[in-house]
Amino acid sequence: MPAELRWREWMRRIEAVLFASASPVAPQDLARIVGQGASVDLLIEDLAADLEGRSFELARSAGGWILRTRQAYAPAIRAAADVSAQDLDLRAFDVAVLAAVAYHQPITRDGLKDIFGKEISRDLIGRLHARELIGTGPRSPRRGAPLTFVTTEKFLTAFGLDSLRDLPDREQLEDAGIAKSPSVL
């Protein structure tokens, strides 16, 4: 097969895998489906260019790649498609707790209590855990040490982040009026 056709075939393989996957696909997993010596980064660049002007895009998320609908089409999707299962249905306080976990992880329930000045319910922690937005983190090796919480890959994907380094800094949040006090984040 000529090199140009081989390259196009590798792009299509990557596109097919990303299309079929519900979660981000790691670059090393994509490398397994293309020819030896092929640059996944260059293939991704070409595929992204190929998708320009389409209703969906290639996005970096949680350390991998995913196909997602462009934001401009969100109202049309909500109007015509059943996407209720994908809706996180988070209240403002839920998002605030997620932000605290993201910025302070690993964090205990007592650590969250210190931040918010009140006990965080087991029900809220359970809902965030059930939605796979948080998971349990490392525990101190001492006996009876409390559980800690960390964000998950699904958290990164749900909020369109490639890694926690993509979280806005606290000053940006304060300037945008989202964070009122540096103690919350």
Read out DSSP for 93-121? HHHHHHHHHHHH-SB-HHHHHHHHSSPPP
Nearest CA to 184 out of 123, 114, 92 is that of 114
The pLDDT score that the predictor gives to residue 185 is: 52
How many residues appear in the chain?
Answer: 185
Residue numbers of the domain that contains 131:
88-175
On whether both 171 and 93 belong to a single domain, the answer is yes
Residue 181 lies in a domain: no
d(CA 99, CA 144): 26
User: Tens digit of pLDDT for each residue in 96-107?
Assistant: 899 999 999 999
On whether both 103 and 42 belong to a single domain, the answer is no
Q: Final residue of a domain: which of 21, 52, 79? A: 79
How many separate domains does the chain show? 2
Q: Is the backbone of residue 160 left (phi > 0), alpha (psi -120 to 50) or beta?
A: left
User: Tens digit of pLDDT for each residue in 21-45?
Assistant: 888 999 999 999 887 778 999 999 9
CATH number at residue 141: 1.10.10.10
Residue 184 lies in a domain: no
**What does pTM read for this prediction?**
0.60
On whether both 105 and 163 belong to a single domain, the answer is yes
On whether both 95 and 52 belong to a single domain, the answer is no
Give the 3-state secondary structure of residue 10.
Answer: helix
